């Protein structure tokens, strides 16, 4: 993963200019609090073998990632939302999502502290 492409810097710099660093901290805190819940919902949809719930859960997290400027997370969720793969493939997608999300959260945190 190229962490330089993980974030939408144009969006984030706009937020920084218009909302300030403290509001970005709050947005990030909210995202990091909600992300595990989104991932759990995606995982639960796999357990319940519900394609509709899978798509809805991926879509919800995709929106949160988009509004937080998490480009790679958003891209992964776009692919997952459309996925018709087996349970094994979907489990692998969830694990990769977790890794991408973790690294993107780190990149965001480092960017914010450098501002």
- Domain layout of the chain by residue ranges: 3-114
In the prediction, which pLDDT does 5 show?
A: 87
In the prediction, which pLDDT does 3 show?
A: 60
Where helices occur in 20-86 by DSSP H, the ranges are 21-47, 51-67, 71-81
Measure the CA–CA gap between 76 and 113, rounded to whole angstroms: 25
Measure the CA–CA gap between 21 and 31, rounded to whole angstroms: 15
pTM of the entire predicted model: 0.93
Q: What is the mean pLDDT of the chain?
A: 95
In the 8-state DSSP scheme, what is residue 20?
Answer: -
Class of domain 3-114: mainly alpha
pLDDT under 50: residue ranges of the chain: 1
């Amino acid at each position: 993963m190229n962490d330089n492409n993980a974030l939408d810097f144009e969006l984030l710099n706009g937020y920084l200019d218009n909302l300030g660093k403290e509001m970005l901290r709050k947005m990030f805190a909210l995202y990091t609090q909600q992300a595990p819940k989104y991932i759990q919902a995606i995982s639960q949809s796999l357990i319940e073998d519900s394609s509709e719930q899978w798509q809805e859960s991926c879509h919800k997290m995709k929106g949160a990632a988009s509004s937080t400027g998490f480009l790679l997370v958003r891209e992964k969720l776009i692919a997952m939302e459309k996925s018709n793969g087996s349970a094994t493939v979907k489990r692998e997608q969830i694990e990769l999502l977790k890794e991408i999300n973790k690294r993107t959260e780190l990149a965001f945190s480092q960017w914010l502290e450098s501002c």
